[in-house]
Chain A
Amino acid sequence: MGRKLDPTKKEKRGPGRKARKQKGAETELAKFLPAGGDENSKRLSSRARKRAAKRRLGSAEAPETNKSPGAKPLPGKLPKGFCKPFGVSAGAVQTPGKKEASSLFNMARGKKRPAPTHSSAEEEEEDSEGDGVVNQEDLWGSEDSDADMIDDYGAGSNSEDEDEDDDEELLPIERAARKQKAQEAVAGDQWSEEETDEEEEEEQVSAESGPREDEESEGGLQINVDEEEPLLPPAGEVEQDTQAPDLQCVHKRIQDIVGVLRDFGTQREEGRSRSEYLQRLRKDLATYYSYGDFLLGKLMDLFPLSELVEFLEANEVPRPITLRTNTLKTRRRDLAQALINRGVNLDPLGKWSKTGLVVYDSSVPIGATPEYLAGHYMLQGASSMLPVMALAPQEHERILDMCCAPGGKTSYIAQLMKNTGVILANDANAERLKSVVGNLHRLGVTNAIISHYDGRQFPKVVGGFDRVLLDAPCSGTGVISKDPAVKTNKDEKDILRCAHLQKELLLSAIDSVNASSKTGGYLVYCTCSIMVEENEWVVDYALKKRNVRLVPTGLDFGQEGFTRFRERRFHPTLRSTRRFYPHTHNMDGFFIAKFKKFSNSIPQSQTGNSATSTPTNPDLPNVNGQVTPKSESGSPSTKKAGQAKQRLQKQQHPKKSSFQKQNGISKGTDTELSTVSAVTKAQASSKLQDSSQPPETAAVVREPKEAGKLKQQSPKLQSSRKAAFRKQRAPPKTMDTDLPAAPSLSKTQATPKPEDRDQPFGNTTGAEKVKHQVAEQPFKKAAFQKRDGTPKGLKTPTVSSRSSSRPPPAKRRKSQSRGSLQPALTSVDG
């Protein structure tokens, strides 16, 4: 802008450049439209006066004549006109071939032209134009000066814009415009397509039917615009705007398309399909918000259109700064007071948090106050406080935080536990661990051990935690406002890679939880991502692979997770998971799921496990695998050969026996169990004299569990409860069997039904023993023989199939009833 600028003549009019820019586009527009015209007219009038004066001096052209061809009746349109010419001219100047850009402008212009007929549409256009105009006001200034200088850019001059308002101005520009028109007319055909699209998108109804027609009119308009383009002074602003498509126009078009799509039946353009609109919208959104195509596609799948735009807008703005009081050292009230004294403007975070504060503004660096250095608070996002609240750690528990860096959640856990118990804070990234060390020391956390393992190694290194928090590494699509690079550098492979890693970590985390913990047995899985592949899909996978079930998170706000998404179907309990979005909750995008582990055994997949059976109990592994026809986790069994097998065997035996008891051979009644049963049969016969019951029972138990988890048809909770119930019984059983008195036990077991799991077995203390005694399996099996009835019976339809082969469900029922108590208990624990 500036070449033609005459410094002496340049004067800032109105609020000034910066003032204008600081206001939002909307406000600008609002001000502009009704008053803009006035302003413009006023300005123009003064400028016009100047120009008129100049012209009179220099030329005799009548401004009015210029105007008429311009067909810009309303002064309000001036802004548009200005916008257009700038944009268009810029575009034209830069890349004559850029039809799109020009088309954009053309469209805008085109719309505007017909605008008189459609005031509303025009207004919209004008608004968008107005924005453009606003930006270009400076140009105006320059142009004015230019105009004053009577620069004839050849085709026209910037003053064209002004000319619209000011007839006088048009003169030189008009000439140029006419020239351009001629040029444009030739090229107009090319733009037709775009124009039509644009037009369609626009809410104009007139002349929309014929793209051609529109084109022509558009073309005419475009021509004008084009004419203006070259006229535009080298104003940098204009050019910038037009280099990419004019953002104002794009924005307007986005809004228009969304409006059309919302009411597609009535507002669509004939001959234009929905997909075309969507295509256009996608491109526009990608342009306007600088997103990569892949991510934008994913977001379009995820959100309805209106929400989509809000989401994208919210990602442009950072979330408010929040901090969490460290209750180990201070109270929220005192901290708030101290910070206010330092000059920080803050407020409590909300009803849902007792320790959170949100900072509106601060005169001191919030991360450097003496209170911060003394560890009185921690800067933490609001959504990061939620998983710890969901986890609800109790005092004197053993907690594992698998991906703890930078330590915000770990320290929150510690403060909730009041520095009792033990926290194992782990992270795979050594650099970020340093921040964990620093933060934990600063905040006065004394019960933490910080380690540097890959999370997937976990149950092997140390397991048996009461609660586990897994804040999995993710693609970061929920925190785009913090890291805009995510918009473009994520693609399909990244998401899938993340999902794979998350699945592995989640399985390891589940295996690290001790299901029979008195106060715990919970796992919270959370990510800062909104992608279904990383959230619901991973959770669903875990439900299939492990003996866990979802429980309510305890957070009463937030959107429920999806139970189905496009072609995928998830377990209905996924409704208890929670999603948070930046545009609805004003916190970073987040996903939280809380699991309760109801059995320490690991379901084996059917196929692969026969070979993995432990030496002592070949049956078990097979059974396990088979038992869980649904469970796909073949690998875990192999992996956990040591621990898992033992656990599995222990647990499975009961199940198996239960299944088998009926026949003495592997029950496997169901198709699911069929494989298992086969195995169990073999095993049973080999192992137990009684029958392969234990394996069966184990299998049976397994299945119910699996069924519970996997089967969506039957109420999962029910089945899961049953499964849990069964499992609970299983351990005791196993334990009993473990005891040397196995044979006797088995007998005893056989006799007492589920009535009292523990009783028949007597000594068995429960699951713990189960784990340790692999060798006892045979005993257990015997013991379980009785049991098998229970597991099966409990199951709903899925189970029933199996149970059918078994002894009358009635027996099982009893055990079930007993077991039902257990599930109730377990659920309560949650």
Chain B
Amino acid sequence: MRPLTEEETRVMFEKIAKYIGENLQLLVDRPDGTYCFRLHKDRVYYVSEKILKLAANISGDKLVSLGTCFGKFTKTHKFRLHITALDYLAPYAKYKVWIKPGAEQSFLYGNHVLKSGLGRITENTSQYQGVVVYSMADVPLSPLNLPRHIKEGEKLLLHHQEAN
């Protein structure tokens, strides 16, 4: 387990910023303590410092997970965000998309959503924007990238990320 390097931090923050923009700082400085990111076996974990102290006692090969896994770095050092990060992204999301109840089930089970399945969408959402998908009950479902330009009746290819 080690802290992230500059490079890794940059890559990761860029990715996260796509969804929550400048609110990134809120992730680190939280009222209930300082949280930090740690890298362990190519996965990035978001932990509070208290937990970090205890986790330091555990040898690296025996440590499996700590706190919340935000995502992982691929072999080519790209950062892939995991759905487990959703709880932290959702409150700060800049662009949101709401899906109708009917489309919600199908989306959850991995299918694409047509534009007609969208209930609401934040204004000024541009193409290829990172959004967080919500259900009509304001339950965050997934972070996504809007794939294409929004046109009436066109299929939106929404890539539903899997949990680790």
Contact = CB atoms under 8 A, between A and B. Distances in A.
Interface of A: 370, 373-374, 398, 421-422, 424, 433, 436-438, 440-442, 444, 446-453, 461-462
12 contacts: A398-B54, A422-B50, A424-B54, A438-B163, A440-B65, A446-B67, A448-B51, A450-B65, A450-B66, A453-B58, A461-B59, A462-B54
Contacts of A436: 64
A97 B66 CA distance: 66
Nearest to A442: B163
B5 interface: no
A449 B68 contact: no
A720 to B, nearest CB: 31
B65 A437 contact: yes
Contacts of B48: 446-447
Given A450-B63, A461-B58, 5 more contacts: A374-B139, A422-B50, A438-B163, A449-B67, A462-B54
B122 interface: no
B98 to A, nearest CB: 15
A676 to B, nearest CB: 35
B66 A441 contact: no
B54 A433 contact: no
Given A437-B164, A441-B69, A441-B84, A453 B54 contact: no
B84 A448 contact: no
A433 B55 CA distance: 17
A450 B105 CA distance: 32
A462 B64 contact: no
A20 B90 CA distance: 56
The prevalent SS among residues of B at the interface is: mixed
B108 interface: yes
B47 to A, nearest CB: 8
A19 to B, nearest CB: 37
Nearest to A440: B65
Contacts of A441: 65, 68-69, 84, 163-164
A448 B67 contact: yes
Interface in B101-137: 104-105, 108, 135
B57 A462 contact: yes
A463 to B, nearest CB: 9
Nearest to B56: A462
A453 B62 contact: yes
B51 A422 contact: yes
Residue from the set B59, B62, B63, B164 with the largest chain A CB neighbour count within 10 Å: B62
Nearest to B61: A452
A449 B55 contact: yes
B87 interface: yes
A397 to B, nearest CB: 11
Nearest to B46: A446
A451 B58 contact: yes
A444 B67 contact: no
Contacts of B51: 422, 447-449
Given A437-B64, A441-B69, A441-B84, A449 B50 contact: no
A462 B59 CA distance: 11
A436 B135 CA distance: 27
A607 to B, nearest CB: 34
Nearest to A420: B32
A438 B57 CA distance: 23
A449 B104 contact: no
Nearest to B83: A441
Contacts of B54: 398, 422, 424, 449, 462
A451 B62 contact: yes
A440 B64 CA distance: 12
Nearest to B68: A446
Contacts of B64: 433, 436-437, 450-452
A433 to B, nearest CB: 5
Contacts of A449: 51, 54-55, 58, 63, 65-67
Given A374-B139, A424-B54, A441-B163, A447 B67 contact: yes
Contact of A370 (B47, B84, B87, B104): B104
Nearest to B108: A370
Given A422-B50, A424-B54, A461-B58, A448 B66 contact: yes
Contacts of B65: 437, 440-441, 448-450
Contacts of A462: 54, 57-58
Contacts of A421: 50
6 tightest A-B CB contacts, nearest first: A450-B65, A450-B64, A462-B57, A441-B84, A449-B66, A449-B55
A202 B104 CA distance: 64
Contacts of A447: 48, 50-51, 67
A442 to B, nearest CB: 7
A438 B135 CA distance: 22
A713 to B, nearest CB: 43
B2 to A, nearest CB: 16
Interface string B32-51: 00000000000000111011
B90 to A, nearest CB: 11
Nearest to A438: B163
Residue from the set B46, B50, B65, B139 with the largest chain A CB neighbour count within 10 Å: B65
A373 B86 CA distance: 12
A446 B65 CA distance: 11
A433 B61 CA distance: 14
A311 B66 CA distance: 42
Nearest to B87: A444
Nearest to A433: B64
A399 B59 CA distance: 18
A441 B68 CA distance: 7
A444 B135 CA distance: 18
Interface in B62-82: 62-69
Contacts of B50: 421-422, 447
A462 to B, nearest CB: 4
B164 A451 contact: no
A754 to B, nearest CB: 36
Contacts of A370: 104-105, 108, 135, 139
Nearest to B35: A446
Contacts of B69: 437, 441
Contacts of B135: 370
Given A442-B163, A462-B54, A452 B62 contact: yes
A334 B49 CA distance: 33
Contacts of A374: 139
Interface in B136-164: 139, 163-164
